[in-house]
Amino acid sequence: MATNEEITGPISQEDIEAADKLKNEANEYFKKQSYNNAIELYSKAIEKNPKNAVYFANRSIANLRLENFGYALSDASKAIELDRAYTKAYYRRAAAYMSLGKYKLALKDFEFVTKVRPNDQDAKMKYTECNKIVKKIAFEKAISVDKKEVNIADSINLDAMTIEDEYVGPALEDGKVTLKFVTELMEFYKQQKKLHKKYAYKILIDVKAYLQKQPSLVDIKVADEAKFTVCGDIHGQYYDLMNIFKLNGLPSETNPYLFNGDFVDRGSFSVECIFTLFSFKLLFPDHFYMSRGNHETLDMNRMYGFRGERGVGCQFGPDVTNTFLQRNGLDYVIRSHEVKNDGYEVAHDGKCITVFSAPNYCDTMGNLGAFITMNGKDLKPNFTTYEAVPHPDVKPMAYANSFFNMLCQ
């Protein structure tokens, strides 16, 4: 995808008209939330007429919706370069900066807009909200100077916590996760009930202690006739996670799983997802695996909802994939992170596979979800796709940063 097209020579009227037609077609795809198709057409419009700031700004918002924040930033900056007074481009760039954790730069863009358009109430509101975030971060940094960071886990006194008589939910047995516990927990969560905080804290403390002892790279051995399942992003879509287990069976020593990051955020049932996954990790530590995704970070949690719930991308081509595989003696790579209409995509001559397990992402994308199964004998990927299942009437990102929600609507 072109991002820094050079503007050389005059543009014919024919090209201008063709570009505008492509832009209008792209807008229709955007309205249908078919963002990849929209980006492709915006790019063709830019090839015809690289002097139109609107095309870059429109491609920027489409990239924002796909979480291609680096491209969104580049396109918004190009639109501003072409038209210094184009306020929408500043809004787009601010959203990209926010998503990348560059809050001061986002604030600078909003400050510019409020000066250029002093009567723009929306710009004033965005500037005020962004300024609050910048000041809050600065304050948190200031009060933490020269102070040893306190580990919250070390301050929790489980013995002092009592289980009230009225609590009738799942319970740990001798402080341990059992199959009975996790089975009851999943049903409990389906009824939108809450696990007792004593058990929740115990699970968090135990999984933290376990994961801290693990190496950053874990080798998994799969027996020749054994089945192994890889799932992609879950993104807080708890009821779709339950559907995966319904379709493919619960995790067990004979039904191992790998969840490939991005367990939380976006969907509004992240707590339910993470405690279910952590419980299975503690129950079957050698048969249940969790890779850390880009949403398992503080900044992402702050923006997309997990931090608010119960209290940069990089592109590469087949040459990079082949080099990586050759250097590490691997057959192929399975990645996630990116929405695919069919729930998965096979690229780079079959050597780079994307799997995305959150169907109808954010209740808007209309995509299928997918997971991959394979056996140890040949590790050939087999794909299972599925549609979204109903969930309680809680909107996606209900707990997200209000400022970011405002930008992305």
Rounded distance between C-alpha atoms, residue 284 and residue 282, angstroms: 6
241, two tokens? 């996670």
Q: DSSP labels for 110-169?
A: HHHHHHH-TT-HHHHHHHHHHHHHHHHHHHHHHHTTTSPPP-HHHH--GGG----TT--S
* Residue 295: active-site member: yes
User: In this structure, how many other beta carbons lie within 10 angstroms of the beta carbon of residue 204?
Assistant: 16
Are 272 and 197 a contacting pair, CB within 8 Å? Answer: no
Catalytic site residue from 235, 295, 337, 348: 295
Give the contacts of 99 (CB within 8 A, at least 6 positions apart): 64, 67, 69, 72, 303, 404
Helix (H) or strand (E) holding 289: strand 288-290
Measured CA to CA, the distance from residue 7 to residue 18 in angstroms comes to: 17
Instruction: Point out the residues that are catalytic.
Output: 295
